[in-house]
Structure 1
């Protein structure tokens, strides 16, 4: 008898536990993982988190908080996984490579005849360079923040006809989402089906990822997907996702359960017949690996400053963030899905470090200070500009009575505040573009409010001072 001294119920419970361990059933998270997730939520104010730590055949899950519908987060709650989708797009291309439909070193124009650019160097861009972000495409010559965004991959590719490259193909690494929209269009053209249908039929269904799908746009409706959240100074508000082009580069919607399957597939312990071992390794470590980036995956250190011994990829949208990372050869991996902004890569790294016996990186949210400063500036600027508007007549009377009115120097500060308020959101992100106002509303709402206060109240105060001066001039005439 295996447990001769135990009561019958205890023996049954022990047998169940032993069976679960032997079969690799999902186990509850231990205290360290719980603490790390709770600390993360406290630092970033994240409404909902679904996390998992994989260690060989064991999978520990940690779920916390609520979704955008107010329901408790579970391992089956749907999340947008944002740029983690790139790993799936790269795998889709690699499936076609395994089937002999193309080579990674084929020029894109060979497999995508409709691909054109206003730059003769575009003919040298290869499929590998698209997947490794070394194509020469750049946000400086091809802005990804266009409103309204393109509706599908065909439109995205067609929109490149008038664009140029920022560098010779293969000479510089720059993360650019359009690369993966091109890759998704290649999949569509060679498979003769829609990108989402190909992913479902060739990747998700064989891996049992039945709750996973993709959408062309970042804000497109997906069945069973609640809204994400905007979190400012600890206050979480359910909000729609910012409109954007997510085709092939960030449009996948999934669950923790399904993403665990995806990670285990990439670890080589699940779905082993789907891709050849060489192709799977190529995705994680393939040349040229500029910027540490392979093909839909990126090398990372366990802790800051350490050697790049991990493979992972993060994902960031305005109201969704996530991260996945694994340690090749150890069987250890971590996965984090959240329904708000933040730094999930820090949490996944800490979960993995804890399991590998490495020190955790302290967590802090720099946006807490940024938003507190913006709130203070907004309150202060509102008070100043409202006071300037209310006292405009008194100000005009003093200027009329002064021997040297000096109107231009007195009005210039209000003009500067007004103009800067209009330009600030665009200037924060780079060269001026009015579309960056939309980006700011989603990513830094307090900056948008501060800019709006400066622009609107500055213009009101400036206009009232001018009107009061003119009125007094007429009255004295």
Structure 2
């Protein structure tokens, strides 16, 4: 079975790798709205996404902002369709903190405990965690040292912070990078305390308002996105976003539109209304001493060695990706009202970057479709093998009736292995994703095809083992 999965991952990686778009989509000397529109329509078709919206900016202007496809209500997606942007929210939270740092109301290198009443962990090292550590994700907090499930049930940022009393640190503050949403929810609560405003109100007054982002908020009762989609063996199914701490979240609560994100990207390229000084923008965009991650942004080396500043956002029914190119002044964002085993927003943004540089974009799409086709084939094969195992269990038992149990057990191992893998499924995925906390309910969303295939394998193995053991006992009782 593991050989099947290894081949599956290898082949899917090949399909998702670089390829060339038709010559008709090569970028013209100057990036035009028509060229961007043509590329995005092709991308929608090739990826098979239900809908997406995108924006490209240059300097202080929006080159192109538009939507493509449909939402869960059958309406056309436009540049003004609200979508959740998940962890792209972190850059908004970091910006809010730096606004207050410039005003002297937050100390970037002062301990959080001195500035945030109610903050405390069972780990004495928590007193050394600074605000900079939170924004650089170097505080020592990890998904494995906090109770993610309990935190997800919090009703406010204040309650969220209060539920951290039993948490600990994995490392000394500042010693290592570990991506953990708790850092940015603590930062959002710090904004509330320092400003005397709710986090959502502060963003509305000091970020969204000044930039003219009139369709943005951090609460679904203020800006309501339509339901997103999951792909289940090629069929897009509309589903409500998985319940969790989203409203007012500093780690992933922002709901916005492509048109609004265009204004945001212009600001982070140093144009338009000034939220921060140039010095503070550079602080936001500069990596920490221990990792490339900055403050809601991370540098990424593009083809040719030029650096982008990027961040991805992944929820259970939404994906998003944003990038700015400081060297050229371009900004890019792509939002998708769907989540699957492959995030196509990353590839689409990088295609837009290539267009902006007069290069031919790499091919997008195809990886998800092939990946799910292979998984579906594995599920069908597993079902057939399970039926065959049950049907042939009588013959299997007769051949082994006289053998000792220690000699029979290895013969059952191939059927038992899928059961063991499925039983350990969430911990395995948590390990593969670098220690991120993963639950069974989460694995029924974007990973649904993989979860279904593994469950069919486990059921087939269970049926085969059960039938063989029952038949073996029956045969031995007769003898």
TM-score, structure 1 normalization: 0.83
On the 8 A contact 1:284/1:294 being kept in 2, the answer is yes
On the 8 A contact 2:146/2:166 being kept in 1, the answer is no
Distance 1:383 1:394, change over 3 A: same
Tell me the SS of whatever aligns to 2:273.
coil
Separation in structure 1 between the aligned mates of residue 211 and residue 170 of structure 2, nearest angstrom:
39
The equivalent of 2:87 in structure 1 is 83
1:55 aligns with 2:51: no
Separation in structure 2 between the aligned mates of residue 360 and residue 311 of structure 1, nearest angstrom:
19
Which structure has the bigger radius of gyration? 1
Separation in structure 2 between the aligned mates of residue 229 and residue 312 of structure 1, nearest angstrom:
24
Once the two structures are TM-superposed, the CA of residue 233 in structure 1 deviates from its matched residue by 5.0
1:201 aligns with 2:205: yes
Q: Structure 2: which 5+ residue stretches go unaligned?
A: 1-30
Separation in structure 1 between the aligned mates of residue 54 and residue 64 of structure 2, nearest angstrom:
8
Separation in structure 1 between the aligned mates of residue 419 and residue 270 of structure 2, nearest angstrom:
58
The equivalent of 2:297 in structure 1 is 297
1:318 aligns with 2:316: yes
The equivalent of 2:10 in structure 1 is none
The equivalences for 1:66-465 within 5 A come to 66-142=70-146, 144=148, 149-215=153-219, 223-246=223-246, 247-272=249-274, 274-285=275-286, 288=288, 290-301=290-301, 303-304=302-303, 306-308=305-307, 310-328=308-326, 330-341=328-339, 342-363=343-364, 366-400=367-401, 406-430=407-431, 436-465=439-468
Higher relative contact order, chain-length normalized (CA < 8 Å, sep 6+): 2
Tell me the SS of whatever aligns to 2:165.
helix
The equivalent of 2:41 in structure 1 is 38
Separation in structure 2 between the aligned mates of residue 289 and residue 153 of structure 1, nearest angstrom:
29
Separation in structure 2 between the aligned mates of residue 450 and residue 209 of structure 1, nearest angstrom:
43
On the 8 A contact 1:92/1:187 being kept in 2, the answer is yes
Separation in structure 2 between the aligned mates of residue 297 and residue 421 of structure 1, nearest angstrom:
35
Separation in structure 1 between the aligned mates of residue 127 and residue 344 of structure 2, nearest angstrom:
38
Once the two structures are TM-superposed, the CA of residue 228 in structure 1 deviates from its matched residue by 1.0
On the 8 A contact 1:420/1:454 being kept in 2, the answer is no
Which piece of structure 1 moves more, 106-115 or 328-337? 328-337
Separation in structure 2 between the aligned mates of residue 289 and residue 435 of structure 1, nearest angstrom:
29
Separation in structure 1 between the aligned mates of residue 329 and residue 134 of structure 2, nearest angstrom:
29
Distance 1:289 1:271, change over 3 A: farther
Separation in structure 1 between the aligned mates of residue 111 and residue 420 of structure 2, nearest angstrom:
47
Once the two structures are TM-superposed, the CA of residue 471 in structure 1 deviates from its matched residue by 4.3
Q: What do the CA deviations read for 1:105-131 (whole angstroms, capped 9, x no partner)?
A: 111111113222232222111101111
Tell me the SS of whatever aligns to 2:310.
strand
Separation in structure 2 between the aligned mates of residue 191 and residue 225 of structure 1, nearest angstrom:
28
Separation in structure 2 between the aligned mates of residue 114 and residue 204 of structure 1, nearest angstrom:
28
Q: What do the CA deviations read for 1:228-256 (whole angstroms, capped 9, x no partner)?
A: 11124543221222334442111111112
The equivalences for 1:14-29 within 5 A come to none
Once the two structures are TM-superposed, the CA of residue 386 in structure 1 deviates from its matched residue by 1.9
Count of aligned pairs between the two proteins:
440
On the 8 A contact 1:228/1:319 being kept in 2, the answer is yes
Once the two structures are TM-superposed, the CA of residue 179 in structure 1 deviates from its matched residue by 0.8
The equivalent of 1:18 in structure 2 is none
Which piece of structure 1 moves more, 333-342 or 156-165? 156-165
Separation in structure 2 between the aligned mates of residue 411 and residue 382 of structure 1, nearest angstrom:
17
Separation in structure 2 between the aligned mates of residue 236 and residue 221 of structure 1, nearest angstrom:
26
Q: Structure 1: which 5+ residue stretches go unaligned?
A: 1-27
Distance 1:366 1:80, change over 3 A: same
Which piece of structure 1 moves more, 142-151 or 95-104? 142-151
Separation in structure 1 between the aligned mates of residue 437 and residue 311 of structure 2, nearest angstrom:
31
Separation in structure 1 between the aligned mates of residue 226 and residue 325 of structure 2, nearest angstrom:
32
Once the two structures are TM-superposed, the CA of residue 434 in structure 1 deviates from its matched residue by 9.7
Once the two structures are TM-superposed, the CA of residue 333 in structure 1 deviates from its matched residue by 1.6
Which piece of structure 1 moves more, 389-398 or 429-438? 429-438
TM-score, structure 2 normalization: 0.82
